[in-house]
Amino acid sequence: MENVIYKMDQHLDLLNKSLELTEKMLADANTENINGIEADAQNRERLLNIIATLQTEIENELKACQPEKTLNMKVQNWVSRTQICVEQIFQVDQKLLDTLHAIKDKTHQEIGVVHKQKQGVKGYNLNNVKR
């Protein structure tokens, strides 16, 4: 049973690290650090895969045994803390998506301006000037 409790604590720690990475991605998005967002997103994806594996192990171990009353309380605490952390990650993810959409729109507008300027200069061929 101590192994399950250890895994639950480890699971919550990893969830908190995932939340920290998500918040770092939001900070990078606010400064338009796209490379930082990409690196953190890859790290977060790996971390979430580890979390999913660990959660499956915990669930399987809990199904295999009949937990006593004290363990049941710890499991309920783990479930509620997990839900709270997941909700926090979801909220930060929503802010991150909104910020990334704003960056995308800004980039789209900049591309439009450059394209329009290029079209305006297109008719001028300064290499073939008649004197």
- Per residue in 88-97, pLDDT (tens digit) is 999 999 999 9
Percent of the chain with pLDDT over 90: 64
Of 126 and 116, the one with more pLDDT: 116
Q: Span 86-109, mean pLDDT?
A: 94
Q: Span 29-44, mean pLDDT?
A: 93
Taking the whole predicted model, whether its pTM rises above 0.75 is answered as yes
pLDDT band at residue 61 using 50, 70 and 90 as cut-offs: confident
Give one word for 32, left, alpha or beta, with left for phi > 0 and alpha for psi -120 to 50: left
Q: Please determine, for residue 119, whether its predicted confidence score (pLDDT) is greater than 90.
A: no
Q: 71: closest CA among 63, 62, 80, 60?
A: 62
